[in-house]
Amino acid sequence: MKHLILIFTLLLSACMQNQSPPDATKKPHEMTIHGDTRVDDYYWMRLSDEQKSAKEKDSHTQEVVDYIDGENAYTQKRLKHTEKFQNDLFDEIVGRIKKDDESVPYLDNGYYYYTRFEKGKEYVIHCRKKESLDAAEEVILDENKLAEGFDYFAIGGMAVSPDNQWLAFGVDTLSRRFYEIHFKDLKTGKVLKQTIENTTGGVAWANDNETVFYTSKNKITLLSEKIYRHKVGSDYKNDALVYTEDDESYYIGVYRSKSGEYIIIYNSSTLVSDYHILRADNPEGGFKNFSPRGTKHEYGIDHYEDKFYIVTNWEAKNNRLMETPEGDTDMSNWKEVIAHRNDVHLLGLEIFKNHLVISERKDGLRGLRIINQKTGKDEYIDFGEATYTASISVNEDFNTNVLRYSYTSMVTPRSTYDYNMDSGEKILMKQQEVVGGYDQEAYHSERLYATADDGQKVPISLVYRKDSKTDNPQNLLLYAYGSYGYTMDPSFSSTRLSLLDRGFVFAIAHVRGSQIYGRQSYDDGKMLKKKNTFTDFIHVGKYLVSVGVTTPDQLFCQGGSAGGLLIGAVVNMAPELWKGAIAAVPFVDVVTTMLDATIPLTSNEWDEWGNPDQKVYYDYMLSYSPYDQVQDRAFPNMLVTSGFFDSQVQYWEPLKWMAKLRDHWQGDNDLYLHMNMDAGHGGKSGRFRRYHEVALEYAFMFDLAGIKK
């Protein structure tokens, strides 16, 4: 093995001198299922968590790391001529961000909570003021101090005890989304030595102010699977197990209701929801099932006074609102409050003493509906734009007639409003500041529609700078996600201005697999209909070319995670359509991953993609899996990014894909990998460091477009 490593190192050195990518040739790995044998030439690139994290690397681990280093070095060498431009772009992007920014305070249990940033610091500072905004500031957590000495740092699941004395917070220093829970006494400032390891980070406080419930994770699959009860200050190894999820297709967690009266355990798979409830003033009691677990039944619950509200898809594809007495929560006791509508998707609600606020999606746009429960008045907030996104913000107080909501569009910076639900008065509390100035009137957004082969309309949200728009085709970046029912709503990005100000058009393709037109859009882009996601995206690209907005020599595409799968599929299916493609943390080895339940999160995904243990799903996955469908052809220019410690898409998927692409690559276009060796799925931690990768992505596109500065 040492001899092989020496040879590999010498070859790697020679490759770098010639600016050539490293060689990935190894003994192939064979997998046979349903009578079909798949040969994986790059399976050797896979490492366990222990191998990745070990301080002393074994020979195999070192071999994989050396290969990654070779790919990274190749990318750096080939793009070295853009290095200054990348630095300039980074400075430009972070230069628009206010360095000493502060959030809008919200009232919760007698304190106003807010966060702020200080100039020159990467992480947020969490603060509060007692009873009045004029009171003295209390810093409850300074992430900058906690992050010292770590390459990666993230806080998760902050929760203050009901008596306002204790703060529980989770810490992840590896980017694998395993959090260690800490407890801080907010009266003394002391952080207890006793912590809780291997958790999701969040806790639910009981009303005794000393008991918390938390969720532990499986170290192999990364699944949340057990709920424990813990006494603050005790050794977590003695904690009582209160719930175990035996079905590996479920995620679980625990939280405290907004009313403060219940501890709620949730269980959710792709198609089913389940809840168990316990009075928060009885932490030693047993949890009660809210209603027996059903089949293909998704719902959410909110407690208020003596009842629960339920947003449910039971006999309601786009959801309806129901209620039930808190003492009789079985489904047989549910009563309808708002009926199902075919043209409106009910997304969620916020409960106040006299009002219900409903978050809905209609005609592809996300808006807010206000119902006065005393007078019966029912109205929608008018936002005055043709394309926008409105969502419920932080509203911890029941006893108020003021709704706080968030609003944005592709030309409107994210804004926080307080809305008087009785008078209709809107007060702008804060709008995202773009340092250096931003003229909203200089930009234009609109919505276009492409048509798929089956006649389905595919919406396109598009934005550009007015004075750069001409009758001639322009450079255009097309973005999409299209999985898990997640909808990419139109929103503002100050980062995106670096594209628009250089003449790029930016567009979002609202493909199936999202819920742009309600649940049917999702169902039509998953399982055995997954290819609709890819063909919708291709149709959008072709439509934008056909109407003269862009050309294939000016059209770029981008997506991340499951959106990276989308990019992998469309460069196989229509490689000639794209000048360049960016696939971020891409899920591309679909069949191998979905066959292996030991890989983190796989078992939760079978209702999204299908289980390839069944031949019908195996055959269908195989027909679109980007890794399996790589063939000898001319691909567009491509940049692939990943994180070595990614917990969602294991690093070896994009790494193997890169190696296979290189083996089949034809033509003169470029293929680059950027593997972040100290980050995971979301990239580098901190406020600004992540923008180095954005600058790389932009420089990659600008270089291809002939834009030099």
Q: Which residues are catalytic?
A: 561, 646, 681
3-state SS, residue 339: coil
How far apart, in whole angstroms, are the C-alpha atoms of residue 298 and residue 477? 35
DSSP calls for 417-478: EEEETTT--EEEEEE--BTT---GGGEEEEEEEEE-TTS-EEEEEEEEEGGG--SS---EEE
Ramachandran sector of residue 462 (left: φ over 0; alpha: ψ -120 to 50; beta: rest): beta
How far apart, in whole angstroms, are the C-alpha atoms of residue 281 and residue 288? 15
How far apart, in whole angstroms, are the C-alpha atoms of residue 257 and residue 574? 48
Residue 198: both structure tokens together: 């291997």
CA distances from 325 to 161, 179, 286, 398, 670 (A): 27, 36, 19, 19, 62
How far apart, in whole angstroms, are the C-alpha atoms of residue 411 and residue 262? 41
Three-class DSSP labels, 100-113: CCECCCEEECCEEE
Single-letter code of the amino acid located at 580: G
Q: Could you tell me which of 450, 510, 502 has the C-alpha nearest to residue 476? A: 502
Ramachandran sector of residue 175 (left: φ over 0; alpha: ψ -120 to 50; beta: rest): left
Residue 114: both structure tokens together: 């807010």
3-state SS, residue 655: helix
The CA dihedral of 464, 466, 469, 474, to the nearest 10 degrees, is -20
How far apart, in whole angstroms, are the C-alpha atoms of residue 644 and residue 68? 9
User: Under a CB-based contact definition with an 8 Å cutoff, are residues 188 and 215 in contact?
Assistant: no
Q: How far is CA 9 from the centre of its chain?
A: 37
How far apart, in whole angstroms, are the C-alpha atoms of residue 241 and residue 192? 22
Residue 349: both structure tokens together: 């609600």
Q: In sequence order, what are the beta bridge partners of 39?
A: 30
The residue written with tokens 């692939």 in the block is: 640
